Amino acid sequence: MVGEGILKGLVETARNFFGSYVGKDRLTTVQYPEERLPQIEAARSFPFLVYDGPDWDKGMRCVACQICEKECPPKCILIKKSADKKPDAVGKPQFYPAVFNIDISVCMSCQICVEVCPFDAIKMDVDYDLSTDDRFGDLLLDKERLAKSNEYYNAIHPTEAAAVDAHFAEERAKAEAKAKAATEAKAAAEAKVAPAAQEQPVGGETQ
Amino acid sequence: MNLETIKSELEAAVPGCRLELVANPSPSGQHSLRIDAAHAVAVAVCLRDAPGLRFDLCSNVTGIDWPGKQTTEKVKLRKLVDGTQQEVEELRTTTTPGSLEVVYHLFSIEKKHGPIVLRMSTQDRDANAHLPSLTPVWRSAELQEREIFDLFGVVFDGHPDLRRLLMWDEFVDHPMRRDYVGPDDYEYEPTAHDEVLRRANQHLSEAAAKLPSEAVGNQQSETDGNRLSEGGGR
Amino acid sequence: MITDASPAAQPELEPLSETSEEQLLEIAMGPQHPSTHGVFRMNVVLDGEHVVRLKPVFGYLHRNHEKIAESETYLGSMPYTDRLDYMCPITNNWAYALAVEKLAGIQVPERAEYLRVIVGELTRLQNHACLIGFLMQDMGSSGTPLMYAFREREKILDLFESLTGARMMCNYMRFGGCRVDMPAGWLEQAQNVVREFPRFLDEYENLLVSNEILMERTQGVGVLSKELAINAGMSGPMARASGVNYDIRKVDKYSIYERFAFRVPLGAHGDVYDRYMIRFLEMRESLKILNEAMRDIPAGPIVDPKMRIRGFRPKPGEAYGRIESPKGELGFYLISNGSLNPYRYRVRPPSLINLTVLEDLCIGQNVADVVAILGSVDIVLGEVDR
Amino acid sequence: MTVTFLILAVITVAGTAAAMGLRNAVHCVLALTVGFAGVAAIYLQLDAQFVGLTQIMVYVGAVAILAVFAIMMTHTPLPAKPPTYSSFWLLGSVVAAAVFAVLAWAICSSAASTQGLPPEPEVSVQQIGDALMHQFVLPLEIMGLLLTAALIGAVVIAMDRREETK
Amino acid sequence: MTQALDQIFVLTKQWLLGFVPASAQPICSAILSVVPVLIGFPLLFAITTWLERKGLGRLQNRYGPNRTGPYGLFQPIADAIKSLTKEDIVPLTADHTVHFLAPVLLAAASFLGYAVLPIGRNMVLVNMNAGVLYFFAVGSVVELAVFMAGWSSRSKYSLLGAMRAIAQMISYEVPLVLASIVAIMQAGSLSTVAIVDKQAGYTGIWPHWFVFTPWGVVGFALFMIAATAESNRSPFDLPEGESEIIAGYYIEYSGFKFALFFLGEYLGMFATSGMAITLFLGGWSAPFSFLTWIPSYVWFFAKLLALIAGFIWIRGTLPRLRMDQLMSLAWEFILPMALLNMLDAGIWHFMPAGVLRWLVCTAIVAVPCVLLGQGLKRNKKFQVRTYQFAK
């Protein structure tokens, strides 16, 4: 019979019409500013730099090794190495980035910088409310705007951050043990240098 | 499918054709067969139609640019060195002309075998960059050969509709060549990369100053070379 | 009227050319046109509403992906492949990873292969669903099927997001495996989606399959003969709709596809209707694969432990790796000279090559059919123009 | 001679005059349509509803469209800015004047103008229908047959052409 | 009381007319009748755009507009403001005068049809002797406006759209008129008021609507199909087919002129729907005798909204036909059926009432309908296919 298929289609759309009032699974639209999707842990938007402790500048994990700058496919990272060194998360004296810029108008959120970073210093953010009315300045993120605390990192990527923290704790313990051994060895010889060496490693306690 | 048997079969079917096995050291083991341009179409038809072969699907066609090599020259020179003469290296810098190579990946839908890789090379990269088109044999080569013509500059004789495919018709160079230098006068979207923009503007004014010169794009090759590396993050 | 375009003969223009050239109307469909699926252009010469000539114009989205890739590291090209066929980024990743794995001789762990199959088939599901939606949209059904498809795609994209971190630009595959393992609860979520999917397919079938208007619009329109399909290198559903039994999953047996029991549907007519019905049936087969894969997925590592993320230099050589992407045969051809970046990097885009026959399909058809035919070819301009 | 009639007459005359004088063929058709509509309005004003509406339906809805279609089909490329008036406007005016003179003479010399009009009969659609179906049924049928034949002929011609193209 | 409610608009008008001198009464009466129509139907247009977007949204599992005002009700106002403030772009090569006149003519012509629509008891602007004829006559003016729009834009797409539109409108005007003739035959009058009056009675609780007869239901169906095509609604929206020729004849219009086209199109849809209601659905009369206490105009608008909902539903479901299929549908199916339906209505008229009349008349339309449909289907050779799988 001609028209049968058309009628079937009409019935189907009618079912969807009423179904959209009954079943919530049919309406997948999220009313964005009022409603938000639950945060997905694996989600990623743009990179940020992790720092430990209260001071973003001092606690920054980045050691300006420039690996991410080299590996970044669209070359959106600009790093200028510092002239001097400062202690890093584990306690070793390291360079730090004098300039660390990410042009997020170029960045394509590929996460390769995160994967190649040996220091767990750069991670992916999940924030997507990034619209701005300044297409130049606001899309070029400098060190200050990139820096986010480790607590924030723990909040957005709990599993991953916990692993990183555990790794750091282990490293730190190792370094501490080493330092302790060194201090003990040195204390045996001379009991003066130890306090400074002990204060440095723990990121949260530096100054 | 053994490439050796195919080769002998083809040599029997197409008298006079010169075939050469090109070994592929990679674990993929996809060795290829270099055919000569003069017999290419006959070989292709044989590959397509011979009952034992039936390579009816020409899946992938692409070009490769092999510019004239200097680095390999030096390697050869080192082999030649038997004494302790250092001046010989500088004198023996005869560069090979380089060539454009076209690669066809063939499969058989009927017999479900493949791939067999065909290669053809042009004599040089400029005036003699001609090769016979295999589009009459495999229609699937039509757009891909056009693309190679566009991006590499291989002229396919016998192609029904050889025009640029991806670049616009007025474009002069071939972007996929290794020595291609991108012109600096694109209309850049103003981004934070104002350094690029500044250079583009400078270039525009220079080009306007010496309008009649044709090779506008090539003048700035030095500054262009490092554009990619310093373009980011500014 | 369907011109019987054999590979040798050019499409016959004789019957329509009785009208003089002056009466022909040349219109440019695109680059700004709602149903060219992006910035694609067809210069169409019309006699009344019948197509006399049709010349596709490419390159509006050209960014020379291959050239960029030749100056990137091997891994650095991976996120760029996402942007080729942006409807199914994961299969692009997969094809590229496969080519590199062939080039360097990398083994992929079992679990990673299963993961790849799962995400690959989910990609196929959402691509086919959306394609049919787009096709209907092009034929003027005011987006209803498309919206249903998007509703389902949303669920699949949610899965992708919670697995890979991004909905579309997944950047998921790595040479020798996958980037991340699935998080807790993901498999159940995915199984749920797969379990619910047939309901959507039934809905689609009710809405579309027996619709008279649709059948009239699509049957006998844009007929592609089997011979031309093979000769012109058609692949994927486009070829299978013309009766070409060629599914790379079956032929190459790449990854672990030989472990799954799935069938390859074949069309008999090669018209637009067949092309979209083949995709319908393929979705059902994909569901079978997914069910089996999700049931059987073993524990284990997800990436070859020998692989290093930085400083990857394959030995000199070349490789052509291909997979059955939702659009057809997606191949990557790589030449390594032992350095950090490939010497030659080539994408074999199924969308572009499937467009080879566009003019043959459209000649003698209506303007409205051109849109339907183009929709049934299934192109994504990111891949066509690269 | 009411005001309404005057307005309608002016519109009609202006429309038809423009149809003769304008250069652009499509403009001519559109102007002619205005003329048709004016005539229809005059009929309506005279309470001849059926004739008036038929005038609109046939002339505005069909004849004008037909003319327009013919123009579109022939698809003659027009200059970007054609002069507004046809160069034959003088000749056209002379012809129109001549026709008008003949008609005017005919009307003036007819008996109606001298003896005055008979009282206006009230004509309803029903009466027209009755007249067509009783008094004039034979002419109506013949016309119907003729038109049917013409229609079939047109279809046959069109079909022939399609066969050829196939 | 119910009587007063039913006649409230009529009484209000007469009450208002009492304040003006007798000499000015005709003109004031005209103004008082026309202005509500000029306001009411555009208002209905605004509501319909909202309804359509909401309804389509729900059909497609979306929310539809819900940001402007409660339930997105102010969306039409926002749209109006937007289209009014948009730049009015006229192509350089366009014929400016005609380009300007086209939307004006279209909107004006769309309004004319309402003059003969009885939207309630005693609520018709002009009770014309040849009302139905008038309706179709002014409807044909729309074609001219469409042509003017398409031609004057000097765009190939708009020309294609105009050609499609005119071909389609002419083709469907014939079945539209033929389908409506059955109602005219039965009522014995071209006057819309008479046609509605003819349907106003009840047998028990059942109304005498023409749609409840074999020829009536077929006539109604054919009329609605033709009306859909006539008002360029999906699945017959080829003239504007946004996925093929983008927007057809109004591709080169923007801002308020575009809105006028939109308005004209919707007004056309309301008018043809209103005519369908008048001809087949009993006009303003209630569907059951016990519901007559509800004012007549409420029934009219309820029926109108129901038909509009049907239009929206169909639009949300069906893909578009192709030009040749559209034509063959008109000439090969609808036209013969309409002619046959006329015969059927004649037989109905002359046969004595009873079961036999029902059977005969149903058979006369149902059997050819099925046969014609089957024939068309076989002729077209389309079918649901079965597919094979590779081994």
Q: Is C22 in CB contact (< 8 Å) with chain D?
A: yes
CA distance B105 to C333: 9
What is the average pLDDT value for chain C, to the nearest integer?
85
Residues of E in contact with C46 (CB under 8 A): 160
Instruction: Work out the angle between the directed axes of helices D64-74 and D25-45 (0-180°, nearest 10).
Output: 170
* Cross-chain residue pair B138–C233, CB shorter than 8 Å: yes
* Residue matched to tokens 């074949």: C266
Nearest chain E residue to A3 by CA: give it. E373
Q: Is residue C2 part of a domain?
A: no
Q: Give D142's pLDDT tier (boundaries 50, 70, 90).
A: very high
Domain count, chain A: 1
- Beta pairing, strands A93-103 & B32-35: unpaired
Burial class of residue E82 (count of CB atoms within 10 Å of its CB; 0-12, 13-18, 19+): exposed
> Is the predicted pLDDT of residue C12 greater than 50, yes or no?
no
What is the distance of C-alpha E343 from the center of its chain? 25
Please state, as a whole number, how many other Cβ atoms lie within 10 Å of the Cβ of residue D134.
Answer: 8
Residues in chain D: 166
CA-wise closest residue to C265 among C285, C287, C250: C285
Residues of A in contact with B233 (CB under 8 A): 69, 75-79, 101-103
Q: How far is CA C180 from CA C112, C177, C267, in A?
A: 9, 9, 38
Q: Give the per-residue pLDDT at D66.
A: 80
Sign of CA dihedral A188, A192, A193, A198: positive
The string of pLDDT tens digits covering residues C252-277 is 888 888 888 888 898 888 888 888 88
Instruction: Work out the angle between the directed axes of helices E156-187 and E131-139 (0-180°, nearest 10).
Output: 170
Question: In sequence order, which ranges of chain D are alpha helices (DSSP H)?
Answer: 3-21, 25-45, 49-55, 64-74, 89-109, 111-115, 125-130, 137-165
CA distance E168 to E175: 11
The string of pLDDT tens digits covering residues A172-186 is 888 888 888 887 777
Chains sharing 3 or more CB pairs under 8 A with chain D: C, E
Q: What is the average pLDDT across E157-181?
A: 84
Q: Give the per-residue pLDDT at D146.
A: 92
The string of pLDDT tens digits covering residues C154-189 is 889 988 988 888 888 888 888 888 888 888 888 898
The tokens describing E174, both together, are 């014939």
Residue E199 contacts by C-beta under 8 Å, 6 or more apart in sequence? Answer: E187, E207, E208, E209, E210, E282, E283, E285
Burial class of residue D102 (count of CB atoms within 10 Å of its CB; 0-12, 13-18, 19+): exposed
Nearest-CA distance E95 → chain D (Å): 9
What is the average pLDDT value for chain D, to the nearest integer?
77
The string of pLDDT tens digits covering residues E8-66 is 777 888 888 888 888 888 888 888 888 888 888 888 888 888 988 888 888 888 888 88
Query: Whole domain around residue C317: which residue ranges?
Result: 7-381
Residue E268 contacts by C-beta under 8 Å, 6 or more apart in sequence? Answer: E110, E113, E139, E142, E230, E231, E232
DSSP, collapsed to helix, strand or coil, labels residue C31 as coil
Q: How far is CA B204 from CA B168, D123, E86, in A?
A: 20, 82, 36
Q: What is the average pLDDT across E303-318?
A: 89
Using a pLDDT cut of 90, give the percent of chain A over it.
0
Residue E389: in which H helix or E strand, if any?
strand E388-390
Chains sharing 3 or more CB pairs under 8 A with chain A: B, C, E
ipTM (interface pTM): 0.78
Output the domain CATH number for residue C271: 1.10.645.10
Q: What is the average pLDDT across D25-43?
A: 85
Q: What is the average pLDDT across D95-104?
A: 88
Sign of CA dihedral E362, E363, E369, E370: positive
Q: What is the average pLDDT across E232-255?
A: 79
Residues of C in contact with D166 (CB under 8 A): 1, 15
* Cross-chain residue pair C165–A124, CB shorter than 8 Å: yes
* Cross-chain residue pair A12–C155, CB shorter than 8 Å: no
Nearest-CA distance C117 → chain A (Å): 20
* Cross-chain residue pair A74–B232, CB shorter than 8 Å: yes
In chain C, the DSSP E strands lie at: 25-29, 41-47, 50-57, 173-174, 177-178, 264-266, 317-325, 328-336, 344-348
Q: Is residue C1 part of a domain?
A: no
CA distance A171 to A202: 11
- Asked if residues A90 and A101 have their Cβ atoms less than 8 Å apart, the reply is no
Sign of CA dihedral E220, E222, E228, E230: negative
Burial class of residue A165 (count of CB atoms within 10 Å of its CB; 0-12, 13-18, 19+): middle
In a mutational test of the C interface, the residue from B166, B170, B171, B226 whose CB has the highest number of chain C CBs within 10 Å is B166
> Is the predicted pLDDT of residue B230 greater than 70, yes or no?
no
The string of pLDDT tens digits covering residues C98-120 is 999 888 888 888 889 999 999 99
Q: Is residue A68 part of a domain?
A: yes
Q: Is residue A60 part of a domain?
A: yes
Residue E6: in which H helix or E strand, if any?
helix E2-6
CA distance B25 to C44: 48
Q: Give the per-residue pLDDT at D116.
A: 63
CA distance D17 to C336: 81
Q: Is D124 in CB contact (< 8 Å) with chain E?
A: yes
- Asked if residues C31 and C43 have their Cβ atoms less than 8 Å apart, the reply is no
- Asked if residues E357 and E348 have their Cβ atoms less than 8 Å apart, the reply is yes
CA distance C181 to C163: 7
* Cross-chain residue pair E59–A28, CB shorter than 8 Å: no
Q: Is residue C65 part of a domain?
A: yes
- Beta pairing, strands B32-35 & B19-22: antiparallel
Nearest-CA distance D111 → chain E (Å): 32
- Asked if residues C42 and C56 have their Cβ atoms less than 8 Å apart, the reply is yes
Q: Rounded to the nearest 10 degrees, how much is the dihedral formed by the CA atoms of C193, C199, C201, C207?
A: -140
- Asked if residues E299 and E285 have their Cβ atoms less than 8 Å apart, the reply is yes
In chain B, the DSSP E strands lie at: 19-22, 32-35, 57-66, 99-107, 116-121, 130-132, 155-157
> Is the predicted pLDDT of residue C286 greater than 50, yes or no?
yes
Query: Whole domain around residue A87: which residue ranges?
Result: 47-163
CA distance C69 to C88: 19
CA-wise closest residue to A40 among A156, A154, A124: A156
Q: What is the average pLDDT across A155-176?
A: 84
Output the domain CATH number for residue A123: 3.30.70.3270
Domain count, chain C: 1
Chains sharing 3 or more CB pairs under 8 A with chain B: A, C
* Cross-chain residue pair E321–C217, CB shorter than 8 Å: yes
Q: Is residue C325 part of a domain?
A: yes
CATH 3.30.70.20, applies to D1-60? no
The string of pLDDT tens digits covering residues C314-362 is 888 889 989 999 988 999 999 988 888 888 899 999 988 988 888 888 8
* Residue matched to tokens 């043809």: E272
Q: Give the per-residue pLDDT at B225.
A: 36
CA distance E339 to B81: 102
Q: How far is CA B106 from CA B41, B47, B53, B140, B196, in A?
A: 14, 9, 10, 11, 43
CA-wise closest residue to C2 among C366, C282, C278, C365: C365
In chain A, the DSSP E strands lie at: 47-51, 77-87, 93-103, 122-124, 140-141, 147-149
Q: Is residue C386 part of a domain?
A: no
DSSP, collapsed to helix, strand or coil, labels residue C215 as helix
The tokens describing D74, both together, are 């022939």
Q: What is the average pLDDT across E260-289?
A: 86
* Cross-chain residue pair C23–D166, CB shorter than 8 Å: no
